[in-house]
């Protein structure tokens, strides 16, 4: 595995269109999954944003006074996300950032962060979770959802153990189809 935060397991840009289709909208209704956690005016961090399946919902929920920091390792993905934000009339709320292989490079404070089906791609989970923790405001939350098909229960528990060691309060996450989930809260 290479040095740095992100692993070779990073999903290639050309596979991402398969992640946004009518079936996915039935299985993972983004607005319904996220509406309990994001409020108007929030600043939201979305590492591994892909082409924006959840980004558009986050931007709608954050409202005109909120913003979404959508971060990815691949410029082609971010270019597609920017086009999509324009098409949805949300480009003023979505800021894209290209990260490096060993650092997200984001500063806070952010109110909420979403890591949907991407933490398993991270080579240095401790460094990644530390950077998320440092970006969150006190009381901020990070929803982690991982695919059951790729991430075993023991692997997911290792991620949660790292989060606890970093000072996160770990709570059960919402029920998300085909996923394991947890809510990581930065203490107030």
106, 131 contact by CB (below 8 A): yes
Beta bridge partners of 115: 144
**Gap between the Cα atoms of 30 and 60, Å rounded:** 11
Sequence-ordered list of residues with C-beta below 8 angstroms from that of 149, at least 6 positions apart, any chain:
178
Q: Is 82 helix (H, G, I), strand (E, B) or coil?
A: helix
Average pLDDT score, the chain: 90
DSSP for 141-160, please give it.
EEEEEEETTTS-HHHHHHHH
Q: The dihedral of CA 52, 57, 59, 62: what is its sign? A: negative
Q: For 52-66, how does the pLDDT look when each residue is reduced to its tens digit (9 = 90+)?
A: 999 999 999 999 999
Give the domain ranges of the chain: 33-185
Q: For 3-48, how does the pLDDT look when each residue is reduced to its tens digit (9 = 90+)?
A: 344 444 555 544 455 556 666 666 878 999 999 999 999 999 999 9
What number of residues does the chain have?
Answer: 188
Q: Has residue 75 got a pLDDT over 80? A: yes
Q: Thinking of the domain 33-185, which architecture would CATH place it in? A: 3-Layer(aba) Sandwich (3.40)
């Amino acid at each position: 595995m290479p040095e740095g935060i992100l692993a070779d397991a990073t999903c290639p840009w050309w596979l991402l269109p398969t992640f946004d289709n009518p079936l996915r909208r039935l299985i993972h209704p983004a607005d319904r999954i996220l509406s309990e956690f994001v409020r108007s005016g929030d600043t939201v961090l979305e590492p591994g944003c892909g082409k924006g399946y959840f980004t558009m919902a986050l931007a709608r929920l954050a409202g005109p006074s909120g913003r979404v920091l959508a971060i990815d390792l691949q410029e082609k993905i971010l270019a597609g996300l920017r086009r999509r934000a324009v098409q949805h009339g949300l480009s003023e709320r979505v800021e894209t950032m290209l990260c490096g292989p060993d650092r997200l490079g984001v500063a806070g404070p952010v109110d909420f962060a979403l890591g949907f089906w991407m933490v398993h791609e991270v080579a240095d989970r401790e460094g990644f979770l530390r950077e998320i923790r440092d970006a969150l405001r006190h009381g901020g939350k990070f929803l982690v959802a991982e695919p059951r098909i790729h991430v075993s229960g023991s692997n997911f528990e290792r991620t949660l153990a790292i989060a606890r060691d970093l000072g996160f309060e770990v709570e059960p996450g919402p029920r998300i189809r085909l996923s394991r989930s947890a809510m990581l809260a930065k203490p107030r």
